[in-house]
Amino acid sequence: MRKIIHIDMDAFYASVEQRDNPQLKGLPVVVGAPEGRGVVLTASYEARKFGVRSAMPGREAKRLCPQAVFVPPRFPAYKEASRIVREIFHRFTDLVEPLSLDEAYLDVTEDKMKIGSALEIAKEIKRLIREETQLTASAGVSVNKFVAKVASGMQKPDGITFIHPSKVEAFMETLAVRDFFGVGKKTAERMNELGFFTGADLKKLSREELVSHFGKSGHFYYKIVRGIDDRPVESERETKSVSVENTFSEDVLDVSALQEELTQLAENLLRRVEKYQLYGRTVTVKVKYHDFKQVTRSKTLPKKVREKEILLQTAFELLQLTEAGQKKIRLLGIGLSGFEEEEDHRKKNGQLELF
């Protein structure tokens, strides 16, 4: 039996703004612009009372809550808070999987401090986060990622929710499908239309029925409604590469169409790289031809790749080293690896701070 914690900072960007500008404390704060085409990145809990939500147009937020204080985002401040929080996690375990700047899974089945109780560890982490960043986080504690993640959202803000191993299956039965993490709004609506409202409803279906209704995800639903989620917590250090790929609906010969696709893929890749803060020096292009033969071409650059132009230029060069244009292609992928230097850099930073 594993011990998994999911931690998620409360109203993260807005809380950092309230911390750094005490005049904002207790006020409805919206991170984002009130006009133009901008969207709300997040809102303080005071602003949420008025219905303001992430991803909503700024103008709508302004209409719902005219007295809200709008502030532009300050990403360096959020990254710094995130770095401190991650450093706290690593005092307890190296099995830390960040999902974004403000949330992570931790596997504390074996914890470095020999505390033993996952609930106690989560309490201690929350206390340290508050002490060292003046921010609050919510935690979910259970036996797998799925339940821990759902649990962390149940008593926000500043909450802690423990789902005891013996209660996991019952927890999944009563959970509404719209609260299933990973089930989008559309799928949840479809489930409701079919008469499935809770985990217990889904549990009545066979694996085959779930797959016929929901495709591949059916396999996951089959297990999760029984409280089973074996996905490991994958730590950053184990991440050897970040990649994205796409299979064309029809095989492609035209090089400019391939370049167009690479451009799209490069944008998606950089979004991921940014999200996980994993900058690598090695660019890889993967090509699968119409006959399913596959080749990869790689190039290691002198510096970590951060800019789209450099990534694309390298990817185009690598594409030329394949049979693109001569042989039809069914799949195109692009990846980044070689993060070691960045890790060293992090270690060095850590040492500098110690002295």
CB of 3 or CB of 6, closer to Mg ion: 6
With CB under 6 A as the contact rule, the residue among 19, 27, 38, 54 that binds ligand TTP is 54
Phi first, then psi: give them for residue 70, nearest 5 degrees. Answer: -95, 130
Residue 82, interface with ligand TTP (CB under 6 A)? no
Residue 157, interface with ligand TTP (CB under 6 A)? yes
Calpha distance 126→131 (Å, rounded): 9
Residue 9, interface with ligand TTP (CB under 6 A)? yes
With CB under 6 A as the contact rule, the residue among 5, 6, 7, 10 that binds ligand TTP is 10
Using the CB atoms, write b or e for 186-213: b if 16+ within 10 Å. ebbeebeeeebebbebbbebeeeebbeb
Shortest spacing between CB 102 and ligand TTP, in angstroms: 4
Tokens of 347: 């270690």
Shortest spacing between CB 160 and ligand TTP, in angstroms: 14
With CB under 6 A as the contact rule, the residue among 59, 74, 91, 156 that binds ligand TTP is 156
Task: Select from Mg ion, ligand TTP, none the partner in contact with residue 54, using the beta carbon and a kind-dependent cut-off of 5 to 8 Å.
Answer: ligand TTP
Contact 5, 85 (CB under 8 A): no
Q: 30: part of which helix (H) or strand (E)?
A: strand 29-31
Phi first, then psi: give them for residue 229, nearest 5 degrees. Answer: -145, 100
Tokens of 7: 């931690």
Residue 12, interface with ligand TTP (CB under 6 A)? yes
Establish whether 103 is a catalytic residue: yes
Long-range contacts formed by 115-124: CB under 8 A, 24+ apart: 118/3, 118/4, 118/5, 118/162, 119/160, 119/162, 121/5, 121/92, 122/5, 122/7, 122/160, 122/162, 123/160, 124/92
- As a three-state string, the secondary structure of 50-80 is CCCCCCCEHHHHHHHCCCCEEECCCHHHHHH
Residue 246, interface with ligand TTP (CB under 6 A)? no
Task: Select from ligand TTP, Mg ion, none the partner in contact with residue 13, using the beta carbon and a kind-dependent cut-off of 5 to 8 Å.
Answer: ligand TTP
Q: What secondary structure does DSSP assign to 320-341, as a single string? A: HTTTBTTB-EEEEEEEEE--HH
Calpha distance 171→167 (Å, rounded): 6
x/- binding map, residues 96-115, to ligand TTP, per CB under 6 A?
A: ------xx------------
Cβ-based neighbour number of residue 141 at 10 Å: 27
Shortest spacing between CB 13 and ligand TTP, in angstroms: 4
What residues line the site for Mg ion (CB under 5 A)? 8-9, 12, 102
CB of 11 or CB of 125, closer to ligand TTP: 11
> Which member of 97, 103, 236, 261 is catalytic?
103
CB of 83 or CB of 167, closer to Mg ion: 83
Query: Which DSSP letter does residue 302 get?
Result: S
Contact 135, 10 (CB under 8 A): yes
Shortest spacing between CB 287 and Mg ion, in angstroms: 39
Shortest spacing between CB 228 and ligand TTP, in angstroms: 26
CB of 20 or CB of 343, closer to ligand TTP: 20
With CB under 6 A as the contact rule, the residue among 4, 33, 42, 311 that binds ligand TTP is 42
Peptide bond into 157 cis (omega under 30): yes
Binding segment toward ligand TTP, per CB under 6 A, in 3-11, 57-65, 166-174, 235-243: 3-11
What are the residue numbers of the active site?
103
Binding site for ligand TTP (CB under 6 A): 8-13, 41-42, 54-55, 102-103, 156-157
